[in-house]
Structure 1
């Protein structure tokens, strides 16, 4: 019988461990909970029982919880620890401000309005600031509620310092989390795959009949690796969205890799199975492959890639191999198409190399690096504070989703502070914490978070009330506190937010029962305050931009496309008449920043089927191809390069106007909630060049290459618009089947 019981026990244990491994791969949640429990309980016990300081114990505990549970930071364990230590002075300032203002309800609420907006809006500076926002909000919230005790500020700061410092220390020394794959390594993989594909494409051009199978086989791995560097494919903390030059360079590197792959695909499609070997274009592609491979090594190792002299020499040889002017016997159309497309590949690969140099911290060389791409690397030589100021200024707009979200949070928390002070709630902190926890960037997400918060709190309050009625010996709460902590910090990740809220409510009961005499009314107060905070969060979510980022995304994308169309016309005008389209490109870049901000927030929200009928990435890629393509085009086709050619002048202006009209059409369709549909007849390079023959005939001095490059760029833009299709797979998976679902699923804590 005992052996049977042992067998059943071993089976139950094995089943439990298998379930835990499935729910918590690598035991990441369990390790974090153990770290946090060790630090929080140590600081709390030391402050409460060794030093007899309630304030030190309280602020040490909540400092550890804020840093260990609410702060969601990217990077390795050392990088996360460094971020926490860097944020410690900000936490001190917020605790000091809250302590000073806690004596007056309206002063504390005013401080909450200003600090709430500033901390939330700071997230536009990058994922580290986003990850710290909720934790920093908690420091001010905790200090700004009664009791008003300015004389206890040293104890409060000491507790916060201990909590943050020990969490940072254990992040590195105690069961550190595995480091996620860094974004530069993803770029390195994409650059390496692209290099292999370019080598195969060059081989196929040298041997059109025999090289096709290898090129076709290597294309799919290259496409998958390049697609993996899209920001939408990454968790929010890992996206390089900061204003620093490193993140800017990494984003530009990813965009250039996508453009290089698209041009290489076009080159492969334009090469006939039976054609003459393309010696110069093939040599240029092999040099591009070597440059991309060097960039891949640099991104992996953090060292700058080789000098660009070899690629620049190959570009010059390819440019001179086929003359700019028509030959006496006419145009060699297939060769011209190959040359032009290979040069476009080289342009984008060169941008990859320059961006890699900047990303790994190599010094900027204006003549050979950013000078040729002044518009792309305009911030390369600027100090960090200038770049951050520009990014914050760009997003500080009534149409900016981050600004709207920050204002919503600030108003809701300020209102919660006024309500808590006006009603003289003993535990007003819980009202603000509930508001912060429930409030989301859209009414749908707020509703989703409401049910687990209320149900979990009610369940936890019920258990807490019974516990406080039945258990009066304080030693029980002292001994059981670490167990309650481990459960509170793991159950939510392993089961659901209902259980997480229930266990967190129970944990607060164990804590406050040791800080002051407590009875069942403590559980009642917890439930009451959570309901008040939930009501405030719902009102803020419904009254202030309830659609979240979806409405702003449509508006900003529409403006982005319209500005991109204007930039296209201005760029063609510059090539024809001289000058630079700075004003139009500046407006398009500003519109692109707002669109990116809206899209990043949109991806974090819950969407139903109707909201996901549009492939937002394809729409945004059309604008990006116009903006980045214009800047790359002007490098190889300087302003005025097609001046003095009347027939070309009229044809290109008409083509640019048609492209702008298509962009405006898509812009209006997006703004009105329609799925874009533009009727564009696709044509290859050969067809396009044949169409240009009448403009070239008899023009012995015609700059043919410039004409073809500009015309093919315009054709590529219309092709991008034509590829936009309704998509049920765009964006992250939905949290429910429809926005009108009456039974929303549990959402995460904010």
Structure 2
């Protein structure tokens, strides 16, 4: 066997020589066995056991559609769960295709609507996006001759049997152990945060280098790109949104703990850090063991937060103590957000009463509203999912029109080629089509040779087909589209030779229809937004950072002049930033749902002379930090006894005002620099972003009230967030990337 290295008798095989099958081939082979067992089993039973060519066709193509063409992420059991939920939709699509196919115009209109709707499923997360191509094929299959609504029962029976066999194969054959879920990653980060908080609360009141490195690694693991595609919290539902929010908050807690300096005196802040440790540990338990938890740690931390936000007792409180209180307030605030988000992720709507309505705007909305919010937010020309859905819908409708007008004998192959070969960029489409046509030509020649040699002996085809299917679904996903198209050409030729006793010309038809379908896909790929999600994410990210800069300027100005602070859900004037966060989170979810590498260009930032892809989760984190910090300064928490009247904040003294305005201008200016570098539509879409200037931290003016220290702590943390976005943060400085 190629790739196997045998050692001489009696010797020990070196470790480097033991690799037999690359991991990609191993995964593909296991999936190929599942698809072949399901598709071949149903095909042979219906064709040779019951003599039904119609049911055999659907029993063959239903597993190929959802098991071979679809790329549903996750383990076998996770994929089986997705397929089970998709089964009723599969039968509906077969029914629609059967009845709409009787006239060309209804078939074309149905293809346009169904093609758009199924492609638009990508807004719902990676799993629906992965299942969509297979569902497209199940609608395409009945759209061609024979136009026989009377055979609908056989069609549905064959599709149901094929899907049932595929579900069993996915669940039982080669079971895969699931990796750590995103909730597990957040729980691990929360446990680490608790350990760090306890270390900071006891002598020597500092984190070890090992703890800082662990925090750095845990924060990196919370980036959704590091999680398996099936486990990324990218869906529109309450739990997915809350879990994504928990990941952001966990990164914030780790970064703030790593930046916390030594206390001004022994034991200063020990009680607050102990409360943080208790809440993070309780959060970790909640995420791993379920909703049964003790609410008291979170309530205690809420009281700690209220005390930290209040004026300190005594006129002689030093600047070091006030600075420490401000840093602790940042940590406590992020910890409360982590705990509340975790409660929502675990308990769902039942946890809505214990969360802040400003931060967790989605907590009180019913599921249909959340789904509508995601769908409506993407129903526009600026949405990548909308663009892709329009492209696919129009291309499939055009291919169906051509197939109907020219009465192609196997027209669904043209639509299948349009569906599978259309790409989001012109260059990628050109390369894909060239490889696909070359592979199809070779496969057609091989299939024609087999059909000529075997003639009408269907026994030969029945024996060969399973082995060719195994090879097609093993080699194709690893070697690329050329191999996949070539081997699949042999598969369908052998299958149709048993169904209708086809001659070698079926291979010729296959080649011509793949050529027609790929040409249609290439034309629409050229005309209809040939881009991926990258630009849309850059655009929404830039808008988010600009809105954050506006909030920074407005908040600093309000703190400087003082005035009335009212108890409300969130500070006034934050709607634009909240809207920017919603759209940026939606774009980031789209970006995660795309296949790896789709539409992703080189890094867009030039930071200190280099190029880097922005840390998009850090950009979302910065947006939340901007809102939370502004609320801390402008929306005082109500006292534990209940609502109270407005709070009058004193204005800052001249020196404190000047220091705070200077720092606010630095932060807002750097935000605008980063926004200009990210924005693909700006005048300088690749503007260089200089490293953070080495200007000293603000001094401690004697005329500064506590709000000054809260504001400077917030602004300094935002500078760190900006460094994290641009990739200039250094672990040696104590930051967590």
TM norm structure 1? 0.84
1:239 paired with 2:232, answer: yes
Question: 2:471 maps to which residue?
Answer: 487
Cα offsets for 1:64-115 (capped at 9, x unmatched): 1112223333445444323212211111111111111212223212211111
Question: 1:631 maps to which residue?
Answer: 628
Q: Specify whether residues 189 and 318 from structure 1 end up closer, same or farther in structure 2 by C-alpha distance, changes over 3 A only.
A: closer
Question: 1:454 maps to which residue?
Answer: 437
1:221 paired with 2:205, answer: no
1:21 paired with 2:21, answer: yes
Cα offsets for 1:687-738 (capped at 9, x unmatched): 4351x534x3xxxxxxx333322333233324433555479xxxxxxxxxxx
Q: In the TM superposition, what is the alpha-carbon distance from 1:43 to its structure 2 partner?
A: 0.8
Residue range with higher mean Cα deviation, 630-639 or 420-429: 630-639
Question: 1:688 maps to which residue?
Answer: 698
Partner Cα separation in structure 2 for residue 282 and residue 233 of structure 1: 34
Question: 1:3 maps to which residue?
Answer: none
Question: 2:363 maps to which residue?
Answer: 380
Partner-residue secondary structure (3-state), 1:548: coil
Question: 1:294 maps to which residue?
Answer: 282
Q: Which runs of 5+ in 2 are unaligned?
A: 1-5, 566-570, 637-645, 729-737
Question: 1:271 maps to which residue?
Answer: 262
Cα offsets for 1:323-369 (capped at 9, x unmatched): 7258544x5122222221122112111221222222122663555x2
Q: In the TM superposition, what is the alpha-carbon distance from 1:296 to its structure 2 partner?
A: 1.7
Question: 1:310 maps to which residue?
Answer: 297
Q: In the TM superposition, what is the alpha-carbon distance from 1:661 to its structure 2 partner?
A: 4.5
1:348 paired with 2:334, answer: yes
1:140 paired with 2:139, answer: yes
Question: 1:534 maps to which residue?
Answer: 518
Contact 1:202 1:285 in 2 (8 A): yes
Partner Cα separation in structure 1 for residue 156 and residue 103 of structure 2: 21
1:669 paired with 2:661, answer: no
Q: Specify whether residues 262 and 521 from structure 1 end up closer, same or farther in structure 2 by C-alpha distance, changes over 3 A only.
A: same
1:358 paired with 2:336, answer: no
Partner Cα separation in structure 1 for residue 334 and residue 694 of structure 2: 23
1:337 paired with 2:337, answer: no
Partner Cα separation in structure 2 for residue 291 and residue 86 of structure 1: 37
Instruction: Tell me which of 575, 586, 598 is aligned to 1:583.
Output: 575
Q: Specify whether residues 69 and 20 from structure 1 end up closer, same or farther in structure 2 by C-alpha distance, changes over 3 A only.
A: farther
Question: 2:177 maps to which residue?
Answer: 178
Partner Cα separation in structure 1 for residue 380 and residue 502 of structure 2: 48
Question: 1:63 maps to which residue?
Answer: 62
Partner Cα separation in structure 2 for residue 450 and residue 19 of structure 1: 34
Q: Specify whether residues 642 and 418 from structure 1 end up closer, same or farther in structure 2 by C-alpha distance, changes over 3 A only.
A: farther
Q: Specify whether residues 665 and 54 from structure 1 end up closer, same or farther in structure 2 by C-alpha distance, changes over 3 A only.
A: same
Q: Specify whether residues 628 and 99 from structure 1 end up closer, same or farther in structure 2 by C-alpha distance, changes over 3 A only.
A: farther
Question: 1:261 maps to which residue?
Answer: 254
Instruction: Tell me which of 624, 645, 665 is aligned to 2:651.
Output: 645
Question: 1:733 maps to which residue?
Answer: none
Q: Specify whether residues 610 and 263 from structure 1 end up closer, same or farther in structure 2 by C-alpha distance, changes over 3 A only.
A: closer
TM norm structure 2? 0.86
Q: In the TM superposition, what is the alpha-carbon distance from 1:636 to its structure 2 partner?
A: 6.9
Contact 1:457 1:527 in 2 (8 A): yes
Question: 1:440 maps to which residue?
Answer: 423
Residue range with higher mean Cα deviation, 602-611 or 502-511: 602-611
Partner Cα separation in structure 1 for residue 334 and residue 350 of structure 2: 18
Q: Specify whether residues 517 and 317 from structure 1 end up closer, same or farther in structure 2 by C-alpha distance, changes over 3 A only.
A: closer
Contact 2:120 2:386 in 1 (8 A): yes
1:501 paired with 2:507, answer: no
Greater helix share, structure number: 1
Q: Specify whether residues 338 and 198 from structure 1 end up closer, same or farther in structure 2 by C-alpha distance, changes over 3 A only.
A: same
Q: In the TM superposition, what is the alpha-carbon distance from 1:256 to its structure 2 partner?
A: 0.2
Question: 2:3 maps to which residue?
Answer: none
Partner Cα separation in structure 2 for residue 310 and residue 636 of structure 1: 24
Contact 2:201 2:274 in 1 (8 A): yes
Question: 2:394 maps to which residue?
Answer: 411
Contact 1:688 1:712 in 2 (8 A): no
Partner Cα separation in structure 2 for residue 287 and residue 14 of structure 1: 53
Q: In the TM superposition, what is the alpha-carbon distance from 1:494 to its structure 2 partner?
A: 4.7
Partner Cα separation in structure 2 for residue 489 and residue 323 of structure 1: 65
Partner Cα separation in structure 2 for residue 653 and residue 100 of structure 1: 69
Partner Cα separation in structure 1 for residue 595 and residue 698 of structure 2: 39
Residue range with higher mean Cα deviation, 541-550 or 597-606: 597-606
Q: Specify whether residues 609 and 386 from structure 1 end up closer, same or farther in structure 2 by C-alpha distance, changes over 3 A only.
A: closer
Q: Specify whether residues 200 and 451 from structure 1 end up closer, same or farther in structure 2 by C-alpha distance, changes over 3 A only.
A: farther
Q: Which runs of 5+ in 1 are unaligned?
A: 1-5, 697-703, 728-750
Q: In the TM superposition, what is the alpha-carbon distance from 1:572 to its structure 2 partner?
A: 5.3
Q: In the TM superposition, what is the alpha-carbon distance from 1:478 to its structure 2 partner?
A: 1.2
Contact 1:131 1:237 in 2 (8 A): no
1:391 paired with 2:374, answer: yes
Partner Cα separation in structure 2 for residue 56 and residue 18 of structure 1: 45
Contact 2:472 2:484 in 1 (8 A): yes
Partner-residue secondary structure (3-state), 2:689: coil
Partner Cα separation in structure 2 for residue 100 and residue 61 of structure 1: 21
Partner Cα separation in structure 1 for residue 86 and residue 149 of structure 2: 22
Q: In the TM superposition, what is the alpha-carbon distance from 1:391 to its structure 2 partner?
A: 1.3
Q: Specify whether residues 336 and 444 from structure 1 end up closer, same or farther in structure 2 by C-alpha distance, changes over 3 A only.
A: farther
Partner Cα separation in structure 2 for residue 592 and residue 386 of structure 1: 19
1:549 paired with 2:533, answer: yes
Q: In the TM superposition, what is the alpha-carbon distance from 1:425 to its structure 2 partner?
A: 1.0
Tell me the C-alpha RMSD between the 2 structures: 3.3
Contact 2:551 2:626 in 1 (8 A): no
Q: Specify whether residues 304 and 28 from structure 1 end up closer, same or farther in structure 2 by C-alpha distance, changes over 3 A only.
A: farther
Partner-residue secondary structure (3-state), 2:266: coil
Partner Cα separation in structure 2 for residue 22 and residue 345 of structure 1: 45
Q: Specify whether residues 323 and 507 from structure 1 end up closer, same or farther in structure 2 by C-alpha distance, changes over 3 A only.
A: closer
Residue range with higher mean Cα deviation, 57-66 or 281-290: 281-290
1:595 paired with 2:581, answer: no
Partner Cα separation in structure 2 for residue 105 and residue 567 of structure 1: 56
Contact 2:112 2:394 in 1 (8 A): yes
Aligned residues: 692
Contact 2:77 2:170 in 1 (8 A): yes
1:468-483 matched pairs, under 5 angstroms = 468-472=451-455, 473-483=457-467
Question: 2:732 maps to which residue?
Answer: none
Contact 1:574 1:581 in 2 (8 A): no
